Amino acid sequence: MGIPIIEVESLSKRYRLGAIGATSLRETLSQWWDRRNGRLPPSESGDFWALRNVSFSVQPGEVVGVLGRNGAGKSTLLNILSRITEPTSGRARIRGRVASLLEVGTGFHPDLTGRENIYINGAILGMTRADIRRRFDDIVAFAEIESFVDTPVKRYSSGMYVRLAFAVAAHLEPEILIIDEVLAVGDASFQKKCLGKMRDVSEHDGRTVIFVSHNLDSVIRLCGRALLLRQGQLVADGPAPEVVNTYLGQDRVAKPEIILSQFPRNDALRQSAILRILSSADAGKLPWIFPFGETLAFRVVLEVVRPVSQLELGFAVFSATGFEIASATSRGRTPTWAQSCGRCEVDVSLPSLRLAPGHYSLNLGLRSSHGQEDFVVGAAMFEVTVSRSSAEDSIDLIRAACVPETDFEFRQSGS
C-alpha cells in the first residue's frame, strides 16, 4: 500500500441545535440576557454530533461508496472533505485536488449561455481558463448540447442542465471526485454514460472517487469498497457488497415504533396530537420495508386533549427527491368517540398504491374544525423493495413513482 490520497483521522463535527437556522439579533440578545440572569441553563445540552470519531483512509484510484440513512452524517462528511465547512475536531489530509459534483447546475447563471457557464463553472471548480479552453469541445460533446452552446441556460431543459453540470465536473481531471446523489436525475441513457465515465475516471486515469448514493445497485456495480455511517459513526468499512448487506440487514432493523412527541413541530394548535407511528409490516419481516405490490400499512397513535369536532387524520407520501406522490385524509370517516378526550389507534393501509421500489417518507397531519392540530414532517421513512411481482412487471424499466394495476386489452382492428 502506498501513501493514501485521503487520510481521515478521528473527524468529528458538532452542531449546536439552538444555533441552527437563521437567528435574529433580538432572539440572541434575549437568550443572552436570560442566561446572564440564570434563567436559562447553558446551551451545552443542545449539542448534536453529526460526525463522531470517523477515521479511514483511501488509496489513489479507489472508488468508495458512502452509505447510511438520512442524517447518518454522509453529507457532513462530504462537506468537510470538500472544505465547505470545518470539522470541530480531528483532521483530514488530502493529497490532491478535490472536485465535488455540483447539484443540478448550482453556480450556473440563468442569463448566461452554455459557453459562458462552462467557463465560470469550470473556474469555480478550480480550473484555469486555459484548462477549460483545452477541454471545451469534449465537455460540450459529452453533455450533448452542441447546438445550444450559445443559448442562455435558462432555456435548457432540466436534463440538459444536469448533463452540462456533470460534463464540466467530469472533465475537471481532479485527483479526487466527490459525487453526491446526482445520478438520480437525467434520463436512463445519460445515467449509464455517467456511470461509464466514472468507471473510466477511476480505472484508466487512476483517479479516486467518493460516491454517495441511495442507489445500492450502482454502489455495488461501481465501488470496490464502501463505508457505512450510522448516527455519525463509521460502523462498517469493506468490500461494497458486504457493506451493502450490512446496511440492508442490520442497519435496516429500524425500530418498528417511532415516538413522535420529540419531533420538531411548527406552531400547531395541539389540542390533539400525533404521538406515535408503528410499522405494520407482516410479522417476521423487517419494519418499514414493504416488498413491491404488497399492502403498505402503518398504525398511528393519537391523543385528543380537549374534545374537538371534524377531526381528520391525514398523511402524505413523498419520494426521496421530495415529490409528493399520494395523500389522503380520514375526513368524514373519523368516528365521534375518537374526537373526545383520550387516545386511539388508527390502522392505515393502502392496498393499491403500488409504489415503485425506492425510498419514501411520510408526513402526518391532524386537523379539526379549529384548524391544524398537529403536523409532523418526516414522521417515518420506508422503503419499497424489489419483489418477485416487480420482476414480472419489469418495473425496473419504469421510472415513475407508481405502477398502477392496469388492464391492456388488445383487439384485432377491422381495417
Q: Which H helix or E strand runs over 52?
A: strand 47-58
Residue placing its CB nearer to other proteins in the complex, 135 or 367: 135
**Measured CA angle at 414 (ends 413, 415), to 5 deg:** 105
Task: Name the grid cell of 289.
Answer: 420495508
Question: By CB under 8 A, is residue 401 in contact with other proteins?
Answer: no
The pairs formed by 129-137 with CB atoms below 8 angstroms and a separation of 24 or more are 135/171
Question: By CB under 8 A, is residue 335 in contact with other proteins?
Answer: no
Question: Residue 250 CB, nearest distance to other proteins (Å)?
Answer: 30
Question: By CB under 8 A, is residue 294 in contact with other proteins?
Answer: no
- Give the position of cell 445520478: 183
Question: Residue 79 CB, nearest distance to other proteins (Å)?
Answer: 7
Residue placing its CB nearer to other proteins in the complex, 32 or 259: 32
**Measured CA angle at 246 (ends 53, 360), to 5 deg:** 95
Question: By CB under 8 A, is residue 150 in contact with other proteins?
Answer: no
**Quick one: which of 160, 111, 112, 109 has its CA closest to 139?**
160
Question: Residue 274 CB, nearest distance to other proteins (Å)?
Answer: 30
Question: By CB under 8 A, is residue 195 in contact with other proteins?
Answer: no
Question: Residue 113 CB, nearest distance to other proteins (Å)?
Answer: 10
Please, which of residues 77-116 interact with other proteins by CB under 8 A? 79-100, 102-103, 106-107, 109, 111-112, 116
State the amino acid at position 64 in one-letter form: V
State the amino acid at position 413 in one-letter form: S
**Quick one: which of 99, 98, 138, 100 has its CA closest to 118?**
138
Question: Residue 24 CB, nearest distance to other proteins (Å)?
Answer: 6
Question: By CB under 8 A, is residue 177 in contact with other proteins?
Answer: no
Please, which of residues 236-275 interact with other proteins by CB under 8 A? none
Number of residues that bind other proteins (CB under 8 A): 54
SS3 379: strand
Residue placing its CB nearer to other proteins in the complex, 116 or 257: 116
Question: Sheet harboring 296-304: ordered strands across?
Answer: 257-259, 272-279, 296-304, 342-350
Question: By CB under 8 A, is residue 129 in contact with other proteins?
Answer: yes
- Which stretches of 40-187 are DSSP H helices? 74-81, 114-124, 129-143, 158-170
- Give the position of cell 380537549: 306
Question: By CB under 8 A, is residue 46 in contact with other proteins?
Answer: no
Q: How far is CA 86 from CA 68, 250, 323, in A?
A: 21, 31, 32
Question: Residue 391 CB, nearest distance to other proteins (Å)?
Answer: 37
Question: By CB under 8 A, is residue 17 in contact with other proteins?
Answer: no
Question: By CB under 8 A, is residue 158 in contact with other proteins?
Answer: no
Question: Cα separation of 158 and 153, whole Å?
Answer: 10
Question: By CB under 8 A, is residue 125 in contact with other proteins?
Answer: yes
Question: By CB under 8 A, is residue 124 in contact with other proteins?
Answer: yes
Task: Give residues in contact with other proteins (CB under 8 A).
Answer: 15, 19-26, 28, 79-100, 102-103, 106-107, 109, 111-112, 116, 119-120, 123-129, 131, 134, 152, 173, 175
